[in-house]
Amino acid sequence: MTMRFDILTIFPNFFSSPLDYGILSRAIATGMVQVATHDLRDFTHDRHRTVDDRPFGGGEGMVLKPQPIFECIESLGAASNPSNTIELCNEQHINQIDKSGTECNKSITGIAPKFTRDLTRQSVILLSAQGKPFTQATARRLATLDRVVLICGRYEGVDERVSDLLADQELSIGDYVLSGGELAAAVVIDAVVRLLPGVLGHEDSSRYESFGIADIQPGDPADGKTADGVPRSTHGAGGILDYPHYTRPADFRGTSIPEVLAAGDHASIRRWRRQMALAKTLRNRPDLLAHAPLTPEDREVLASLGHKFL
């Protein structure tokens, strides 16, 4: 099954670079992912291709108009195609980023109107500084969908009717303001695509890392070794940060790796890594500890580091 992203933007060429390297590039080339950019200026009807206007009620800045966004969404199959599917090779106003070269052999589900949309299959997202925080949990949920539409905000904001009548949710990638939603869209796509089955080199790669799934607990048989005999690094991160990583050389510019990593005692390595993950989380993101599933041993480690539980 191919996952499809549609990006609504006034700068479609922005995405030629982020999508042309690494994991995203490989996922697109193998046909696991399709990404299409749609230039909102193609859906304007004046000679200046105007996509913004002054806000009602006064105020500084310009606001993205609703009409180009609505018409672009409607062009994605919701209104024009009775069967609610469209062929990729028949799309208009689109810059198709698809290295597999097989776009004309596939059909995709059109975007349904908001109030009849199946949110288990597709979602329309407005990227905005006013949105809910984008988290790993949100990325995992989006990775289960067939199609995601990302609307890139610009200027002072987007006409509120886009949020009310088109978007299922507003998302923000952080408590700061960007010049536009394009960077945020690239972040969302990267975070989601790496969770799709087969995209990463090892199926557990997205579980044993910062904010990984806490589905393997200490003492669980799966906490021992993988099927190929490789010792588990730790159990699922469970919403805390990852442990420190080291590679060769063992001694670099007078600084050596921790002795426990070279001793070969895998149980000790797992304990050390868990302790270091807790210490790093306490140092960099103590807010995460309030919701992390902590064992009694975890609590002892944190207490020894000065953490006070409420």
Residue 291 carries which side chain, given as an amino acid letter? H
Domain count, the chain: 2
CB burial of residue 216 (10 Å; 0-12, 13-18, 19+): buried
Q: What are phi and psi of 175, to 5 degrees?
A: -85, 65
Q: Is the peptide bond before 249 cis (omega within 30 degrees of 0)?
A: yes
CB 292 within 8 A of CB 236: no
Q: Which of 155, 175, 193 is the last residue of a domain?
A: 193
Residues 169 and 237 placed together within one structural domain of the fold: no
In a domain, 105, yes or no: yes
Q: Which residues does the chain have with pLDDT short of 70? A: 78-108, 201-237
Residues 124 and 36 placed together within one structural domain of the fold: yes
Give the predicted TM-score (pTM) of the model: 0.80
CB 224 within 8 A of CB 267: no
CB burial of residue 115 (10 Å; 0-12, 13-18, 19+): exposed
For residue 233, what are its two tokens? Answer: 């690094």
Which has the closest alpha carbon to 22: 12, 13, 33?
Answer: 33
Residues 65 and 127 placed together within one structural domain of the fold: yes
In a domain, 206, yes or no: no
Q: Which of 174, 193, 212 is the last residue of a domain?
A: 193
Distances (CA, A) of 73 to 119, 124, 133, 210, 216: 16, 9, 24, 35, 41
The residues, ordered by sequence, that sit 6+ positions from 150 with a Cβ below 8 Å of its Cβ are 5, 6, 7, 8, 125, 127, 181, 185, 188, 189
Boundaries of domain holding 291: 221-304
